[in-house]
Amino acid sequence: MRLQDIKVQLEAEQVAGSPRPELEIKEACAADLMSDVLASARPGSLLLTGLTHPQAVRVAALASLAAVVFVQGKEPLRDTLVAAEESGLPLFVTQLSLFESCGRLYQAGLRG
């Protein structure tokens, strides 16, 4: 699934990072605990999280993830935007809950 399609499915808005609409993504990881992300997310996955702290972006960069989506319309902190810009990691915000986001993306063919 392309990053662009994910954006449409989640009615999300990109708020920071490089635009990479054509980026192909196959897997997603839904988590708020960063150790969980580090332990279980595979490189190239999409991270769906409710944690809007800069740590979410740093962890995603460390785990070589493809992009991050903040759920439930949570506004990223300023430091978080800066961290995303620095690493180039595409960062999105959706109004949908984590549950609804996972459901829609699973339905659309993403796995995790």
Partner 1 sequence: MRSRGAGTRTQLTKLEELLRELRVEEVMTRRLVSVSGDFTMAQVKELLRKHRISGVPVLEGEALVGVVSIEDVTRALEQGEMGAKVRDRMSREVITVFADEPAVEAVKRFAHTKVGRLPVLDRGGKVVGILTPGDPVGRAFRVMDLRYREQEQQRWQQKGLGLEDLLGEGASLVLRFRVQGEDFAGAGKASVQAKRVLGRLGLDPGAVRRATIAAYEAEMNLIIHTRGGELTLEATPHSVVVEAVDKGPGIVDVEQALQPGFSTAPEWVCEMGFGAGMGLNNIQSCADEFEIESEVGRGTRVRAVVHLSQSGRKDRLNR
Partner 2 sequence: MKLIEIAQRLGLKVEAGVDHLENEVRGGYAGDLLSCVMARAKTGDLWVTVQRHPNIVAVAVLVGLAGIVVTEGGNIEPATLERAEQEGIPILVSSASAFRVVGELWDLGIRGE
53 phi and psi angles, rounded to 5 deg: -70, 155
By CB under 8 A, what part of segment 60-89 binds partner 1?
61-64, 79, 83, 85, 87-88
Applying CB under 8 A, the residues found at the interface with partner 2 are: 28-33, 36, 40, 48, 50-51, 72, 96-100, 102-107, 110-112
Whole-number Å distance between alpha carbons of 105 and 101: 6
Contact 37, 29 (CB under 8 A): yes
- Residues in contact with 90: Cβ distance below 8 Å, sequence separation at least 6, in sequence order: 3, 14, 16, 17, 18, 19, 20, 23, 66, 67, 68, 84
Query: In terms of CB distance, is 43 or 107 closer to partner 1?
Result: 43
Whole-number Å distance between alpha carbons of 108 and 104: 6
Please choose which of partner 1, partner 2, none residue 63 contacts, taking the beta carbon within 5 to 8 angstroms, the exact cut-off set by kind. partner 1
Query: In terms of CB distance, is 19 or 103 closer to partner 1?
Result: 19
Q: Which residues are at the interface with partner 1 (CB under 8 A)? A: 13-15, 18-19, 32-36, 38-39, 42-43, 49, 51, 53-56, 58-59, 61-64, 79, 83, 85, 87-88
